[in-house]
Each structure stands twice: as C-alpha cells, then as structure tokens.
Structure 1
Amino acid sequence: MTPQDTQGAVAHWSVQDMLREYLTTGRMAEVVYRDGAGQVCIAHDTIRDIFSRAGKDFILLGRGEMVGVDHVITIDGRFPTVSCC
C-alpha cells in the first residue's frame, strides 16, 4: 500500500503477516507514516493491535496512535507494498 493508493485499503496477506510478526513478538519497530494532515511522522513503538473497520486495515501503536495501513510508508525500512498478479 502506498499513501496514494487509497482504493485498496485492505492490506495484502503478506503485509498482514509482517504486521502480525511485530504484534506477536512485541518487537519495537520504526513506523514511518503520514498523519491525517499529510505530515510524515516517525514512531519508534510496538504494534499493539491490527484490525479492520469499514473495509480498511489499521494498526494500533503501543502509545495508542491508530494508523491506517494505507498511510504507512515503511516499517523498519521495509515498504509494506506488494505487487500482485
């Protein structure tokens, strides 16, 4: 997912697997994302939860910040994008 691609707001299964890895291990991650105002934010935190609402996937950071997966730019330098087909 890229911030520009808002049509496919549900994360691909491999992105979900990567997020679940961080969730289950409790490992700290550097999450770079765009907030609602379009500002680039960097959080060094754990991923507390992964969930879907209204057809979109979100992560909940340890500090309580909810981030849409489609707003995530990188997690520990890895791009959560998948080219399919």
Structure 2
Amino acid sequence: MTRENTSNSYHPVRCEIQSLLREYLTSSRLAEIVYRDDAGQIQTTHDVIRDLFSRAGQEFVFLGRGHMVRLDHVLTLDGRTVAYTN
C-alpha cells in the first residue's frame, strides 16, 4: 500500500533545490507545489513557503495554509523537479 519513497528513511534534497526553496521563502512568492502525502497520494497545492527547518535529521517545508511536508516528499516546485523519485 505504501510506496518506497514514503518510507521513514529520509533522502536528502540537493543544495541547489534548498537554495531555490529559500528564494521562495524570502520572497513570499506563490508556488505550485506537488508532493506525495503520508498515504502515498500525489497532492497539488498553490501556496507560499512559510518556513524551512530540520527536525530529527529530516528537512521539512511549512506551507502558508499550515501543511508540513517532508522535503523529500516534494516532487516539483513550479514545474521544477525537487526530489528524485525512485
């Protein structure tokens, strides 16, 4: 039922993607974010990035509407590939 990339093992995101996410954070620019939720379903949202942070060795993005998404579950940001899909 769950996919491999929704497992508990975290897969780090490339540095250039982290820089791109920080640009969105500092500009409060609206973005189309496609991510895989905890149930393994692909979700699309249009939101702003309110925070980027690490917790227990994993990185997260906190969205304007209150969703917290693990960075390696984010698939695309405005059409740009963020995480590698296996």
Q: Judge same fold: TM > 0.5, yes or no.
A: yes
Larger RCO (CA under 8 A, 6+ residues apart) = 1
Could you list the runs of 5+ residues in structure 2 that have no partner in the other structure? none
Q: How big is the alpha-carbon RMSD for the aligned residues of Structure 1 and Structure 2?
A: 1.9
1:3-82 matches, within 5 Å, as 4=5, 7=9, 9-81=11-83
How far did 1:11 drift? 2.5
| Equivalent AA in structure 2 for residue 62 of structure 1 | G
TM-score (norm 1): 0.84
How many residues were matched structurally?
80
TM-score (norm 2): 0.83
Runs of 4+ in 1 over 6 A off after TM superposition: none
Could you list the runs of 5+ residues in structure 1 that have no partner in the other structure? none
Q: Once the two structures are superposed, what CA deviation does each residue of 1:25-56 show, in whole Å capped at 9, x if it has no partner?
A: 00000000010001111110000000001111
